[in-house]
A and B are shown apart, each in its own frame.
Chain A
Amino acid sequence: MTNTVSLLDVEMRFAASLAIRRMSLEVRSGEFFSILGPSGCGKTTLLRMISGFLQPTSGKILIDGQDMRDVPANRRSTAMIFQSLALFPLMPVWENIAFGLEVRGMSKARRRQEAERLLELIALPGYGERMPHELSGGQRQRVAIARALAIEPKVLLLDEPLSALDLKLRQRMRAELRELQKRTGVTFIYITHDQSEALAMSDRVAVMSAGELQQVGEPLELYTNPATAFVAEFVGENNIMSGTVIDTFGDYAVLEGAHGRFVGRRSATLRPQMKARLYVRPESLSVDRQETENRLVAISKRFDFEGAFATAHAVVPHDSDPLSVQLAIPHQHLGQAPDIGKSFVAGFSRQDAVVLAHE
């Protein structure tokens, strides 16, 4: 599999602040690649560097194997979907879509034809003469995508384009985007701060925090094998127990904290005496499992029924550091749910827990 976009030792510095710490990243051709991180983490900077609006302070960006230094945005084979979409409000839809072709000197008749073809692709045939403000949010979204696809980019860069839409529409557009990407085979680089969006749509996800690349992997891998504490806490829900590593054996580490001793899988660099956190997903905690290790005695506080499953909120009592935990209970096992106010035992297997260094 070839790479469409490669970042080699890229770094970006604005005046005093370091926006992107030295990082390398490979995006394979034809994949749906997401960059996930909280706002301010540098993901938009990264995207603007790939699109050519920013030049990295150091390092190289390759697109299709070619060094992009000194190639401005208007001569790169990337196309960007802006957060605000940035449709040209004074041009009808078809001129918007054909703008990139107009720039490339295509005749008006052919442009018109091409715009119609793209309108078919985004399921808006006959909308060419409308003005952007006459369209709904979802329609505008699709026109922006068609406009970007018109120039047949190697890479489509999407800067949180769904953030302005309401929840229902957002979920529908997720599926549409995914479907469109599979159909066209264009590489998508998608920026988002919404982890469920990234997990649902992507082939692979890069997680960023404070200008640093935390982990790159398939969604399932990020979920089950977070490489850093940040990823464990940012992607999905997790129960967290802090403590110190007192022993390591094989792939496992033993953590001792205020609430007891726990065993979980560890990263290769973890050593005894290190401060660390153990993470276990709510669905991996279960009631009354007779585990020899990894047991918690908690008092049930609240119970949220959410359809497919229910979340039980509980507290492990402690004088100075009471610990809140969550358990996800599938609806068919609701009978096992602890009664509110009652104390119960929850356990998890060492396979389902991860111990990660935490300064």
Chain B
Amino acid sequence: MTDMPIATANSHKPASPLRHRFLASRLPDVLPRLAFRLYFVFFLTYLLLPLLILAAATFNRSSFPTIVPWLGTTDMWIAALFRDGEILKALGSSAVIAAGVIAISLPVGTAAALVLTSLHGRARSVLYAMMVSPLLTPGVVIGIATLLFWRKVGVGGGVALSILAQSSFIISFVMLMVAARLQRFDRTMEDAALGLGASRVYVFRRILLPFLRPALVGACFIALLQSFENYNTTLFVRGTETPLTIFIASKVRAGLTPVINALGLMMMVATVIGAVLWEVVRHRKRSTPGAGR
């Protein structure tokens, strides 16, 4: 029951910017606040400036990506991007790997979350530790281990190995996201459905899976991103395959041109559009009554 009108929408954080304006009039508070301002500007610069430079270099005529000296504005690098067969091939390779990773990690991660939340006590914590261990293993090590074992049993080929190696830890992400949602699941709903004569498989399909849907959509998204951006693990298992990250890194060391920046710019634009759409959808879902759960 907070009586401050300013805090009604925000009662857990009574420290509003307004409050700070009042505090600012006090001498002992000015210094830390100034320090925080400076820090804040520094932080945002550190966060965003590299990306802006990366994007800006796309439009520089210089054949090495940079913004100094500015040799004239051009869109030739963007045009070159769409003509670059190698990049498109790398993109295709990444997409195939990502599809494979999603196909494996969604069902396995979901199964893992279901198994985990059905258990209790010591069995649960031991299993939990095993399931999150891939997240605490350096990516390089996952790559090596996968390479050594699966080559030995006869799985070669960059795509298959990349899918296996990436799935190894992406399953953990999926498991955590699904498990988080499962914690809010009311188990008595299952019993109610069973009591109404449904079979266990039917209950799973009609009750549990629809409940997990938002988590699965999110997990699918995370799996896609993780797969696309993975470098350290894929480096060791790629064989002769050249997914996007490998391609970019190889270009950085030999023959870097602003075409790569153009690619970065495209990915940035796609990300921003994606993020905005995501926010819009989330917002709409929240404001439409009954749409959310």
Contact = CB atoms under 8 A, between A and B. Distances in A.
A70 B3 contact: no
B23 A55 contact: yes
A44 B3 contact: yes
A54 B19 contact: yes
B1 A19 contact: no
Interface in A61-88: 70, 72, 83
B6 interface: yes
A55 B5 contact: no
Interface residues of A, number: 21
Nearest to A13: B18
B1 A83 contact: yes
Contact of B3 (A15, A40, A72): A40
Interface in B21-52: 22-23, 25-29
B91 to A, nearest CB: 50
Nearest to A18: B5
Contacts of B23: 55, 72
A39 interface: yes
Contacts of B291: none
By size class, the interface of chain B is 10 to 19
A55 B19 CA distance: 8
B1 A70 contact: no
A53 B1 CA distance: 17
B26 A70 contact: yes
Interface in A24-81: 39-45, 48, 53-55, 70, 72
A42 B22 CA distance: 18
B4 A55 contact: no
Given A55-B23, A55-B25, A70-B26, A14 B6 contact: yes
A152 interface: no
A160 B1 contact: yes
Given A70-B27, A72-B28, A72-B29, A19 B5 contact: yes
Contact of A48 (B4, B8, B18, B27): B4
Nearest to B27: A70
A45 B6 CA distance: 10
A43 B3 contact: yes
B36 to A, nearest CB: 16
A14 B1 contact: no
B115 to A, nearest CB: 32
A42 B5 CA distance: 8
Contacts of A15: 6, 18
Contacts of A17: 5-6
B188 interface: no
A171 interface: no
List of 7 A-B pairs having minimum Cβ-Cβ separation, nearest first: A44-B3, A14-B6, A55-B22, A39-B1, A17-B5, A45-B4, A70-B26
Given A17-B5, A45-B3, 14 more contacts: A14-B5, A14-B6, A14-B18, A17-B6, A19-B3, A19-B6, A44-B2, A45-B4, A48-B14, A53-B14, A54-B19, A55-B25, A70-B26, A72-B23
30 contacts: A14-B6, A15-B6, A17-B5, A19-B3, A19-B4, A19-B5, A39-B3, A40-B3, A40-B8, A41-B3, A43-B3, A44-B1, A44-B2, A45-B4, A48-B4, A48-B14, A53-B14, A54-B19, A54-B22, A55-B22, A55-B23, A55-B26, A70-B26, A70-B27, A72-B23, A72-B26, A72-B28, A160-B1, A163-B1, A193-B1
